[in-house]
Chains A and B, each alone.
Chain A
């Protein structure tokens, strides 16, 4: 009960403001209730239904057969390709994104370049899915602008050399378009948190720039760097629209497999589909727990 309410409740002479004093705790619960009901109905129940379905056979009896089914070569391969592409784009986006963010923060760059690139990163990290895939088809498809330009002007035949937009590397180059800007957005605050005093102190003690980075900069930033890359990993891991519209569903990713399973029972076992989907949630849950553990660690330095 708030102080004010207590004063009034103990018999103040002012006109009574209405409601809360009657039953303060239950009122708060009532206000939070719609939110909780909504979350249960549209977040918990759907997840639970997949989880339960993953442990049932066609007749609804308990079985571990679907979990065993996940370890067949076809599905393992889908997970492996998904993990590989998420890892590749997380590391590449993470490294380039870090250098770009550092370049924007550390200086020597006019303010308007910095702020407009930052805004662009906000746009590009949200510019994913179907339009992004199409933009890359116009760029690096067989008759894409860059493909044709490289061939005619520089005599580099991308497709002749084995590149294909509709394959692993093509997908990676496309994913980077939202991974790189996302990295810039999340790694900028930790980079800004590096204190000038630390650098000055190191220099006063005679440290070279590489010593400063090796002993101070990198250790302080490491949790943020790893955490950000893990977030990028999760970001690519769950991507569906970009991959579908780029490859037409021809690449064996877990999300694509789930999509085909929803459209028609391609696995010939709906319950295997539920297990597959729940498997994704498990991977994402592990990823996000590591992310939050690392973020807590990085906040230790940034808050000092």
Chain B
């Protein structure tokens, strides 16, 4: 047994070293913007760079709209399938998992080809491009949205709750807004934070659809020519990811948001 414990610590130690060094190297670099001393100059420069705040706000807005659209599509669907058409459940589950098969670069390629002309041209104006970006993010987030919402609905007895509400004379909007959604709160919050984490730093869709308006492409551009500022940005985006994951753990503690907390390929 003693030998086992040694090997357990060995793997933990190796992994910790591997995880820690890049973060330390980046942090260390970010403090060296002023020659010969440690300073927060890089962070100051980052704050003063108008592109960064602007793009962070843009990507946050896109993220919130993605969450809204995703939940509007997913919650009624999962609810109705459970209530009325349980036979459709495997179909919805299968569809929700399909985005795993389509890498982001392929998805954006297809979106551009489909909507750059034809019946529904979206790529010739900013509103259309922003919408395409949101739609693409909803597609990417679909597996996580589905899992969270479905897990949330499994935890409550949807059918009984609905019938109880109905027998008390509740209308459909009342049932949704005052019975189902409050019970799904932690599941929906978990899905929301994960979606936000995916959207905020996302690069592939953003760079081809909206370019430097979004946060991911801006991080990339800053990295091309301003190394110190870039290192500060890396640290900040790591902290943002950490905070969002922490929030998922926090809201997920009471059930719901199962182990599905990793996004697809970037």
- Please give the residue numbers on chain A whose beta carbons come within 8 Å of chain B beta carbons, in ascending order: 2-5, 14-15, 17-20, 24-25, 27-28, 31-32, 34-35, 38-39, 41-43, 45-47, 49-50, 53, 96, 99-100, 102-104, 106-109, 113, 117, 119-120, 122-132, 134-139, 144-146, 176-178, 180-182, 185-186, 188-189, 234-242, 244-245, 255, 258-259, 261-262, 273-274, 277-278, 280-281, 284-285, 288
Contact = CB atoms under 8 A, between A and B. Distances in A.
A49 B114 contact: yes
B80 A145 contact: no
A17 to B, nearest CB: 5
21 contacts: A17-B169, A34-B73, A42-B139, A50-B106, A103-B7, A109-B8, A122-B245, A122-B248, A122-B262, A123-B241, A123-B242, A128-B263, A129-B202, A131-B238, A138-B29, A138-B234, A181-B19, A237-B103, A238-B264, A241-B203, A277-B106
B22 A49 contact: no
Contacts of A135: 22-23, 25-26, 234, 238
Interface of B: 4-5, 7-12, 14-16, 18-19, 21-26, 28-29, 72-74, 76-77, 79-81, 83-85, 88, 92, 95, 97-114, 135-136, 138-139, 142, 159, 162-163, 166-167, 169-172, 197-198, 201-204, 208, 216, 219-220, 223, 230-231, 233-234, 237-238, 241-242, 245-246, 248-249, 259, 261-266
Contact of B162 (A2, A122, A242): A2
A143 B217 CA distance: 24
A250 to B, nearest CB: 14
A158 B14 CA distance: 20
Given A126-B245, A138-B25, A284 B83 contact: no
Contacts of A182: 262
A122 B237 CA distance: 15
Contacts of A46: 107, 109-111, 113-114
5 closest pairs, A vs B, by CB? Answer: A46-B110, A238-B103, A238-B265, A28-B84, A103-B8
B241 A130 contact: no
A35 B83 CA distance: 16
Given A4-B166, A19-B172, 20 more contacts: A14-B169, A28-B81, A28-B83, A31-B79, A32-B92, A38-B135, A43-B102, A99-B7, A108-B4, A113-B12, A119-B245, A124-B19, A126-B245, A128-B265, A138-B231, A139-B22, A144-B25, A234-B100, A238-B265, A262-B112
Contact of B135 (A35, A42, A117): A42
Count chain B CB atoms within 10 A of each CB in A41, A47, A135, A278 and give the residue with the most. A135
B104 A238 contact: yes
B25 A134 contact: no
Contacts of A15: 169
A4 B9 contact: no
Nearest to A258: B105
Main secondary structure, interface of A, reads helix
Given A2-B163, A102-B8, A135-B234, A53 B113 contact: yes
B203 A129 contact: yes
Contact of A258 (B92, B98, B106, B114): B106
Contacts of B88: 32
Contacts of A239: 103, 265-266
Count chain A CB atoms within 10 A of each CB in B74, B112, B219 and give the residue with the most. B219
A142 B74 CA distance: 47
Given A31-B80, A122-B261, A50 B249 contact: no
Given A109-B9, A119-B245, A145 B169 contact: no
B259 A31 contact: no
